[in-house]
Amino acid sequence: SKREGFATIPDVSWEDIGALQSVREELQTAIVQPIKQPELYAAVGISAPTGVLLWGPPGCGKTLLAKAVAAESKANFISIKGPELLNKFVGESEAAVRRVFSRARSSVPCVIFFDELDALVPRRDDAGSESSARVVNTLLTELDGLSERQGIYVIAATNRPEIIDEAMLRPGRLETPLFVDLPGADERVEILRALLRTKPIGDDKETIISMARTSACDGFSGADLGSLTRQAGHHALSRRSMRLDYADFQFAATRIKGSVGEMARYYK
């Protein structure tokens, strides 16, 4: 199994992601193309990679997008959760940040994904703590060093962009913010279609997929549609079927409550 913090090429493709078309196109231009055709970018004098900040409500595909970017570029992927790097001993977090970049340097091309970035780099004034300011500074130094070399791309994700230290977002750092929104009815259909792509479904596949458009799935995130699919799978097995039918999804929908209520707290 894959250990966090180590470089591997993920097995997620654009096909596994529903909706989010414009975010995908932006990532294709900002990261996938430059990794695939560095000579084009060098020819027009663009050498510094651009960092991307994916922001938006939980469970809407930020991690999935970052993995697909690496996979589509055939780049290694190092995934780091912000809170994990925050160590109890003075100096350890900075060393851990430097270690992430040195590991990336030895496995180029490489995408580094910092999930829950807000935990790692809160505004230096707010947080007040000296050690958190040092972590921010270390990360800034590493990001600024990237302009001199090719092959390392940084994607970060957060649900709380407003609490991130602004210096992180300046040109040459995480300068490209991309909003990953909660899906609307049509997008839920595309997401459920992507989630069911490899699942054993009967003849009523289109009926199942169109359920995502109905009020039964109001306020569902992509992650909620993922749990819907898992619950339907459990229900199919409980009736000793290896195939997911419409009735399994109807049952599952009664068990899942959309996350939108919970998100409203963040995004009012």
- Tokens linked to 242: 């290896």
- Tokens linked to 6: 């180590």
Please state the closest distance from residue 197 (CB atom) to ligand ATP, in A. 9
> Is residue 259 a contact residue for ligand ATP (CB under 6 A)?
no
Which residues in the 81-120 window bind ligand ATP by CB under 6 A?
115
Give the three-class secondary structure for 21: helix
Nearer to ligand ATP, 151 or 226 (CB): 226
User: Which residue blocks in the chain are alpha helix, DSSP H?
Assistant: 21-27, 33-36, 38-43, 62-72, 82-85, 92-105, 117-120, 124-127, 130-145, 185-195, 205-210, 222-238, 246-255, 260-264
> Is residue 159 a contact residue for ligand ATP (CB under 6 A)?
yes
Please state the closest distance from residue 2 (CB atom) to ligand ATP, in A. 14
Among residues 50, 63, 138, 176, the one that binds ligand ATP under rule CB under 6 A: 63
Among residues 191, 209, 217, 252, the one that binds ligand ATP under rule CB under 6 A: 191
Nearer to ligand ATP, 58 or 151 (CB): 58
Nearer to ligand ATP, 48 or 223 (CB): 223
CA distance 217 to 25: 27
Q: What is the DSSP string of 31-100?
A: IIHHHH-HHHHHHTT--SPPPEEEESSTTSSHHHHHHHHHHHTT-EEEEEEHHHH--SSTTHHHHHHHHH
Which residue type does 194 have?
A: A
Residue nearest ligand ATP (C-beta atom):
222
Among residues 64, 97, 135, 232, the one that binds ligand ATP under rule CB under 6 A: 64
Q: Pattern 12-51, binding to ligand ATP, x per CB under 6 A?
A: -----xxxx-------------------------------
> Contact positions toward ligand ATP, by CB under 6 A?
17-20, 58-64, 115, 157, 159, 191, 194-195, 222-223, 226
